[in-house]
Amino acid sequence: MPSTSAAALEILNLHKRFNEPAVDDLSLTVRSGEFYALLGPNGAGKTTTLRMVAGLLQADAGTVKICGIDAFADPIAAKRVLAWGPDDPMVYDKLTPLEYLEFVAGLWNMPPDFARFKADSLLDSLGLGSHANERCGGFSKGMRQKVALAGALIHEPRLIILDEPLTGLDAGSARQVKRVLSGLVAQGVSIVMTTHILEVAERMADRIGIIARGRLVAEGTLEELRERASANGNTLEDIFLEIVGSEAGSEPPAQEATGFHEKVA
């Protein structure tokens, strides 16, 4: 049974190595009801970390606890309270959004009446109500993204992990998604989200983690990061660029980064 008082996500000393370390002794905690944004340059290890949390990739070492459940020891129990939204929306072209949600509800063994109610409500709130009976094959990327998001939310997860959920969405759709996510956080659901749209992290996240070369190099609220990074500007972009370097993928040396992390955390 998931613990109600435990942190939504606890990652401890997580390691994953492909040809070189992708995630290197990473530890972080996400509290219940917290919106946590995980930022980092391309190839920093964000997606690898989240895929290990979701059980899509085997970790070399470390532990992951989801709502107090050891995700590596009891993955099925952990998956019951978890939702994963990949950056590439994976939906079935030959199913309609309603059929897709019916399928997802079946996977999570939800009572059918409640699932139908949730499906209608999610599709409406994401602006897909009028497309509920059209096959996804003809949908735009943004619409598919929203169908996939509805699938992630239908079983009422307590921890939602989203990898770039706003990519490909128009301004209106992005606002719909942000509104739905904010509503969930207000209800006590925890969200961990990666994004390259720093403005979204700046506006929505309770806390922000910055990852580089597989390590958490900075963590805190926007104010904490602003105060402690002594950035020249005061936007998250300034802070982010100072920490990870102004060019994509050119992170500062790990030693410096660790020092900064210790300072902030």
Half-sphere exposure of 8 (CA within 13 A, CB side): 21
Contact between 44 and 6 (Cβ < 8 Å): no
Nearest CA to 58 out of 99, 14, 102 is that of 14
Task: Name the CA radius of gyration of the chain, rounded.
Answer: 18
Q: Binders of other proteins among 55-74, rule CB under 8 A?
A: 55-57
Among 6, 25, 27, 77, binds other proteins (CB under 8 A): 77
Q: Can you tell me the distance from the alpha carbon of 170 to that of 150, in angstroms, rounded to the nearest whole number?
A: 17
The label of the residue with tokens 């019916």 reads 102
Mind spelling out the 3-state secondary structure of 183-209? HHHHCCCEEEEECCCHHHHHHHCCEEE
Nearest CB to other proteins, comparing residues 192 and 264? 192
DSSP 52-109: HHTTSS--SEEEEEETTEETTT-HHHHHHTEEEE-SS----TTS-HHHHHHHHHHHTT
Residue 99 is a binding residue for other proteins (CB under 8 A):
yes
Q: Binders of other proteins among 123-142, rule CB under 8 A?
A: 131-138
Among 27, 32, 63, 96, binds other proteins (CB under 8 A): 96
Residue 144 is a binding residue for other proteins (CB under 8 A):
no
The minimum distance between CB 81 and other proteins, in angstroms, equals 9
Q: Can you tell me the distance from the alpha carbon of 95 to that of 103, in angstroms, rounded to the nearest whole number?
A: 9
Residue 159 is a binding residue for other proteins (CB under 8 A):
no
Among 5, 19, 42, 109, binds other proteins (CB under 8 A): 109
The minimum distance between CB 135 and other proteins, in angstroms, equals 5
DSSP state of 155: T
Q: Can you tell me the distance from the alpha carbon of 218 to that of 199, in angstroms, rounded to the nearest whole number?
A: 17
Residue 202 is a binding residue for other proteins (CB under 8 A):
no
Residue 248 is a binding residue for other proteins (CB under 8 A):
no
The minimum distance between CB 58 and other proteins, in angstroms, equals 9
Residue 156 is a binding residue for other proteins (CB under 8 A):
no
Residue 122 is a binding residue for other proteins (CB under 8 A):
no
Residue 195 is a binding residue for other proteins (CB under 8 A):
no
Q: Binders of other proteins among 11-30, rule CB under 8 A?
A: 18
Residue 97 is a binding residue for other proteins (CB under 8 A):
no
Residue 113 is a binding residue for other proteins (CB under 8 A):
yes
The minimum distance between CB 123 and other proteins, in angstroms, equals 11
Conformation bin of residue 112: beta by default, left when phi > 0, alpha when psi is -120 to 50:
alpha
DSSP three-state, residue 258: helix
Among 5, 42, 76, 187, binds other proteins (CB under 8 A): 76
Q: How many residues does the chain have?
A: 265
Q: Which residues bind other proteins (CB under 8 A)?
A: 18, 47-48, 51, 54-57, 76-77, 79-80, 82-84, 86, 90-96, 98-99, 102-109, 111-113, 115-116, 119, 131-138, 148, 151
